[in-house]
Copies of this chain bind each other. A is one copy, B any other.
Amino acid sequence: MPKPRIKTMEDLSVAIGVSRPTLSRFFQDPALVKAKTVARIEAGLERVEYVPNFFATRLNRKTTGIIGVIIPYLNDLFFTKLLQSVESAAMEAGLTVITQCSHSDPAIEARAAETFMSMNVDGALVAPLGEHSDQGVQMRLKSRLPFVMMDSRPKTLLDVDFVGTNHAQSTGLITEYLCRVGPPPVFLAMPRVNFNALEREAAYIAEMERMGFEPEVIGGGQVREGGYFEEHGEAVLDEAFGQGRLTERSILCVNDRVAIGAIRAAARHGLVPGRAAKGGLRIAGHDDYPLCPYLNPALTTVAQNTDAIGKKAVSLILQLISGEGGGGAPEVTLFDGSLRLRESA
């Protein structure tokens, strides 16, 4: 029952009586070979076990058909959602995607970039670590191959194609909403800033000033241990609520994971944030983390259009690969966020 294993195309050629160049063309695209021959090859493949060597094929082709993707975290559903969008778009385009997670370590990120260059990938898609990223690495990537950044845009790397969210719009939107339905919100930030966090904070401040309110940012100062988003949100608000502060305020969290911690802190102090509670505590987030609808109370937030971001990033890379882009100014696409009104604010 076990089929004989054949290792090389050469051997396969003699085994099924079709020349190696023809087999080569067949494995690249059966349409390049006459139907009758295709049938003969396929019949032969029924009887033996053979798969073309991935490395040997990629070694010679002018194009590898691979794109490399780097994301900073794996244990964050926002990035996995983005990754799914990228993968499905890439698969549709017939590309193989190799994903590497930098695990919030610049050294690992650099190693991943190195790997992609050594693979001659057709293009690279990276969601950077923020200020911790080694920008030299990204400059090298950009100078060597089609390169698109996603999600977070380093201020020192503005001449790169970028796809992300318009945080001025998205954060402005929810800030305006919070101001409209309750007391002007405070902004719950993170100590370890990334560029998105900074942009959101700036957008919050701008919108507050536009509406004539005094912006107030908390939680951005001291670096705490652990550093997980939820833990940070809970710790900051646990302290505040414990001192009787902020219990009747609106709190805009820099992202949903921080907001999850914030809601938890509220619950521990017997507080129930909610849009229904006139004048009382409200908590809102940013991103539309997949679990938002299932929290208690369900989290009001601004959704990032991760699906559009992933699709656009892939199409941009495709465009760059085909040599259409790269001429003038970098192409920057920002998608608007959209309000998700639920219970918490």
Please report A residues at the B interface, Cβ cutoff 8 Å. 2, 5, 49, 51-56, 58-59, 74-75, 77, 80-81, 83-84, 87-88, 96, 98-99, 101, 103, 114-115, 117-120, 140, 143-144, 230, 234, 260-261, 263-264, 267, 290-291, 293-298
Contact = CB atoms under 8 A, between A and B. Distances in A.
Contacts of A96: 115
Contacts of A297: 267
The 6 closest A-B CB pairs, nearest first, are: A54-B118, A55-B55, A267-B296, A296-B296, A51-B118, A55-B59
A264 B294 contact: yes
Given A103-B84, A260-B291, A119 B75 contact: no
Residue with the greatest number of chain B CB neighbours at <10 A, chosen from A54, A114, A261, A297 = A54
A82 to B, nearest CB: 10
A54 to B, nearest CB: 4
Main secondary structure of the interface of A (DSSP, over half): helix
Among A77, A101, A294, the one with the most B-chain Cβ atoms within 10 Å of its Cβ is A294
A84 B77 contact: no
Contact of A291 (B5, B98, B230): B230
Contacts of A291: 230, 260, 291
Contact of A75 (B80, B98, B115): B80
A68 to B, nearest CB: 11
Contacts of A261: 294
Nearest to A75: B80
